[in-house]
Structure 1
Amino acid sequence: MTITRASHDRPWTEGELTELAHLKSVNEQLPEDSPRALLSVRLSILTDDTTSPVRQELDLWRKANDDRVRVVGVARDLNVSATKVPPWKRKELGEWLNDRSPEFDVLMFWKLDRFVRRILDLQVIINWCQEYGKNLKSLHDPIDLSSTIGKTIVSLIAGMAEIEAANTGIRVASVWQHAKTQETWIIGRPPFGYMTEKGKGEKVRLVIDPFRYRILRWAYGAALRGVSASKMAKILNRARIPGANGGKWTSTTLLIQLRNPAIMGLRVETSSRSGRKRSKEVLDGKGNPIRVAEPILTQEEFDELQSALDRASRTNENPWTAGATKFLGVIVCRICKTNYTVRTSTSRGIRYKYLRCRVCGGKGADPQELYAALVEAVLEELGDHPVEYREYARGAEKRDQLRQVEASIKYYMEGLAPRGRFDRGGFVKETAEETLQSLLKQMDEIDPESTKDRWVLTHGGRTYQQQWEAGGTEDMSRDLLRAGIKFEVGYNESNEVEADLLIPEDVRERLVIREDAFKTGF
């Protein structure tokens, strides 16, 4: 087992690593049939050593050794909020809960508020533990799901944790509300085009970022000349200029920056309008905008820019038909791997639809022809494959049966030994020997795998072709996305459309339908 270190986690000291090695060595000496434990370590922000991941993990290893449970893994989820992210959605713990649950019997954590902070999430986990035969243990809380009192205590503690988290949220919201009314920069990430620096009296203020200033001024001039946002994004990407979040530019990400009043040096907040998030100015008590920095664009220039962007959007109004593309995420461009999307155009009063890459362009393909080609290729490769479901099989019943058989075998073997209770000869000994042979046969017929908690695959009684014929293209599209199947489209030297069906090697495993054990918690 290796130690992973996140960038925000302090390094392990030599003394801590030595202690960890000793605790592991002690744990490895426990019997193979000891209960198996998964340790969960979580922290949203590294503040001090009292609840640091290192401290949590060492304490949990000690607890595991004291309880004589074998540690089979450690799920480390750092910089993760328990209020926002439930256990089953965390990167490491989520993998154990959703896919590796047969490998452990008890889930151990340092303290309840390190594990969950919402009572609904806790209730979902309790239900899951009861369904899958798991237990919860906390180092600092009296938690034991095997007793009614333990479950009651868990619910009470979770309620207190939720109240504490709510109070924290109120305090944070209050800080944000106060910050929005101040001319100084108190909290939050600077808008694109600006950066923070400490001024007089160590107060943080916003100043113009020279490099991003030039990007915005260039885009302003290009927009006035009629250059589209998509063309500007291509130019910026060719020049290898990083986008607002460090990635590539798109027309959408560029328009977000160009339509943001923050580039006038004003305080803004995000609002949702017509299903779209837009930044709007924050006004003071007198109804005036709050200036927090020097402007990159003046009010007059900003208004000119918005008019130019509006004119460009009207010349190409809703060219990409929302929700009309079938197999979205499956049909992609061979060159840039971007989704092929349905586009509409009008010629001589007739509307046409065609599929085309939004980045690389091209003449486009007839949607129905491309859909038909995809369906035909998929059915040829996977149509006869049976629909399989993953189910959780408990081994408790078989384990009990095996223990009873082993105990009975031991009883008859001792009885048939010299001077044993069946060592009398005649009918008594003969009957005992027949019973022993029957028990040995029963033990041989018990599959060792059936005594373990495990995932098993069951057949749904139909093929994928039958399933897709009943569910239509929507069901087929969901299955293809889940399986990671791609239909890459491009053009040959004669500018004719051609496509390749790319199927992962583990496609059959990916296609297995896995029931969502935590669906009530979403």
Structure 2
Amino acid sequence: MTSKRVVLYARLSTSSDESVSIERQLEAGRDYCRAKGWEVIGEHVDDGVSASANAPEHRRGWQALLNRPRGSFDVVLIWKVDRLARKVIDFLHADEALQAKGAAVASVSDPIDMSTATGRAFATMLAVFAEMEAEAIRARVKAARRALVKAGRVPGGAAPFGYYNAPNPDGPGKVVAKDPDTIGFVTQAAARVLRGDSMNSVAAYLDEVAPRTGRKNSAAYWTITVTKRMLQNPILAGMTAHNPGNTGKQRGTEVLRDETGMPIIREDLAILSIEEHRALTARLAVSEPYTTPNPSYLAGLVWCGHCNRRMYRNAKSMNGKKVRVFQCQGKEGCGQQVTNLESIVEKTFLDRFGSLPMMRLERRGSDRDLAEVHHQISDTLARMSEDGADDDALLERLQALKSLRSKAPEPDRFEPILDQTVAEWWQTDRREALLSYFTGVRLTRGKGGRNFDPTRLTLIETRRIRIDPTVVPMDDPDAIAAAIRESKRSPEET
């Protein structure tokens, strides 16, 4: 009996299947070689590697095997054909690579002989069956996963930050639930982004209140990328990410939907409305320019009354102290500057408007629902134009959404809600409160010193139509129309 030089190769997708464990595959190969009188000269392993997702040439263990010199081994012994490949094309490529090395494939469990045409045909048939088995497994896993997701159960994996996998109160398995210890941090982070805070500051906030200690295979800190990924998760709006067939590293953008094509919302998981989450993801998609660590609510809103140029805030030293000043800069600028402008504008604005009630318009439920249907129709049409789109599934969704739209009730009227004063809103969002009345401020030169001359400051009137609900009866259409006409005649500056 001619002794052959053999290299053993073993592969396993997961480490939970003891029947085909790496050690059992190698031990079976050693026993086989002893019975044949063959010499084992090496062993190569790919542990935790899927054959369906990774061709042999993309696996480290197989690459190391092929790096052996040509003619240094005669046979590569595997436990079964599916340990080498689960696709026919992958098996044939692997066999071709071994032939180039002057070696052949042999199997412990499958009687294959790659030295004859009949043996090669039989081995190819085994690879065909391995591929069919892989497809069947994939279909079963996808069906089981979708059934779990539709039932609200966790199909596997860790829960997003701010949530945890809790025991299912209605049966077996687990369901996602809010983590009372961390969900507040997610809510605060989202609020900070929506109000315009920089991503650096939001990441720093999370590092302070919720350090990423003890997290395996992940960033040690809240980087901008990690923070954005956490906030982009549709679970924040109560939606479940569902992207069957997505094999990329990037999270897909699809969510679980009902039979009408609308996203399924779990109110018990949501910390944002779907509109708020859409605004959040749009904000996260914009690259941030460099910003100062202490941004001014007046940034970009201050104009020089002489040069009609925007004034910018800089740090300067005055009397040995570092202060922030707004200045008309550049060769064409007049150089005028003012300190403490934020406090000056705040006093001027609140003295005039602080006691007024803020009016916001509350949309009734049918309005929100109909607007969301329109958005989902537009989103579906956009997806249909993408390369590789599942046109049949998207067309079915589009038809369901249009049917839902045809059944939606007529929109209800907007209703004014008075729930806070301008001063109270100012404490929440100074910039937005100012912009609800004015487009900015204009400064002219004047006498310097500690006492600011208020005549130097002009608030630039917005073109928006404003109605004072304490003066105009909101249930009288004629009074509202008259107020609108009067508002349009108001001067641009005040």
Query: What is the TM-score of this pair, normalised by structure 2?
Result: 0.51
Structure 1 match to 2:56: 87
Q: Deviation digits for residues 74-115 of structure 1, max 9, x if unmatched?
A: 112222212112222222232222456664321001111122
- Choose the corresponding residue for 1:298, options 268, 272, 275: 272
Question: Quick check: 1:246 aligned with 2:215?
Answer: no
- Name the CA shift for 1:104/1:262 in 2 (closer, same or farther; >3 Å): same
Tell me if structure 1 keeps the 8 A contact 2:113–2:120.
yes
Matched residue type, 2:140 = R
Tell me if structure 1 keeps the 8 A contact 2:6–2:76.
yes
- Name the CA shift for 1:37/1:210 in 2 (closer, same or farther; >3 Å): farther
Matched residue type, 2:218 = G
Q: Secondary structure at the match of 1:75?
A: strand
- Name the CA shift for 1:219/1:48 in 2 (closer, same or farther; >3 Å): closer
Structure 2 match to 1:221: 191
Distance in 2 (alpha carbons) for counterparts of 1:225 and 1:40: 57
Size of the aligned set, in residue pairs, is: 284
Structure 1 match to 2:293: none
Which structure: greater helix fraction?
A: 1
Structure 1 match to 2:230: 257
- Name the CA shift for 1:110/1:227 in 2 (closer, same or farther; >3 Å): same
- Choose the corresponding residue for 1:282, options 256, 264, 270: 256
- Name the CA shift for 1:99/1:148 in 2 (closer, same or farther; >3 Å): same
Shift of 1:119: 0.4
Structure 1 match to 2:29: 60
Tell me if structure 2 keeps the 8 A contact 1:183–1:291.
no
Tell me if structure 1 keeps the 8 A contact 2:154–2:176.
yes
Distance in 2 (alpha carbons) for counterparts of 1:138 and 1:80: 19
Percent identity of paired positions between Structure 1 and Structure 2: 26
Distance in 2 (alpha carbons) for counterparts of 1:129 and 1:312: 49
Q: Deviation digits for residues 28-83 of structure 1, max 9, x if unmatched?
A: xx9xx943211111122345543222322211101111222221221122222121
- Name the CA shift for 1:231/1:238 in 2 (closer, same or farther; >3 Å): same
Matched residue type, 1:219 = A
Distance in 2 (alpha carbons) for counterparts of 1:46 and 1:239: 36
Taking CA–CA contacts closer than 8 Å with sequence separation of 6 or more, which of the two structures ends up with the larger relative contact order? 1
Structure 2 match to 1:40: 9
Question: Quick check: 1:307 aligned with 2:279?
Answer: yes
- Choose the corresponding residue for 1:135, options 83, 104, 117: 104
Q: Secondary structure at the match of 2:105?
A: strand
Q: Deviation digits for residues 146-205 of structure 1, max 9, x if unmatched?
A: 222221111111111111111111111222333342233344543332221213334421
Distance in 1 (alpha carbons) for counterparts of 2:178 and 2:56: 41
Distance in 1 (alpha carbons) for counterparts of 2:211 and 2:262: 35
Structure 2 match to 1:147: 116
- Name the CA shift for 1:188/1:284 in 2 (closer, same or farther; >3 Å): farther
Distance in 2 (alpha carbons) for counterparts of 1:147 and 1:63: 21
Counterparts of 1:495-506 in structure 2 under 5 Å?
Answer: none
Which has more radius of gyration?
2
Tell me if structure 2 keeps the 8 A contact 1:260–1:279.
no
Matched residue type, 1:295 = L
Question: Over aligned residue pairs, what C-alpha RMSD do you find?
Answer: 3.4
- Name the CA shift for 1:164/1:308 in 2 (closer, same or farther; >3 Å): closer
Tell me if structure 1 keeps the 8 A contact 2:198–2:288.
no
- Choose the corresponding residue for 2:152, options 183, 188, 198: 183
Structure 2 match to 1:267: 240
- Name the CA shift for 1:293/1:171 in 2 (closer, same or farther; >3 Å): farther
Q: Secondary structure at the match of 2:111?
A: coil
Structure 2 match to 1:159: 128
- Name the CA shift for 1:155/1:214 in 2 (closer, same or farther; >3 Å): same
Tell me if structure 2 keeps the 8 A contact 1:226–1:308.
no
Distance in 2 (alpha carbons) for counterparts of 1:95 and 1:289: 47
Counterparts of 1:113-132 in structure 2 under 5 Å?
Answer: 113-132=82-101
Q: Secondary structure at the match of 2:53?
A: coil
Tell me if structure 1 keeps the 8 A contact 2:236–2:277.
no
Tell me if structure 2 keeps the 8 A contact 1:194–1:209.
yes
Matched residue type, 1:246 = S
Q: Secondary structure at the match of 2:19?
A: coil
- Choose the corresponding residue for 1:112, options 55, 71, 81: 81
Structure 2 match to 1:209: 179
Matched residue type, 2:185 = I
- Name the CA shift for 1:106/1:204 in 2 (closer, same or farther; >3 Å): same
Shift of 1:270: 4.0
- Name the CA shift for 1:73/1:163 in 2 (closer, same or farther; >3 Å): same
Distance in 1 (alpha carbons) for counterparts of 2:192 and 2:51: 45
Q: Secondary structure at the match of 1:268?
A: coil
152-161 vs 193-202, greater mean Cα deviation: 193-202
Tell me if structure 2 keeps the 8 A contact 1:197–1:207.
yes
Flag structure 1 segments of 5+ consecutive residues without an equivalent. Answer: 1-29, 320-347, 349-522
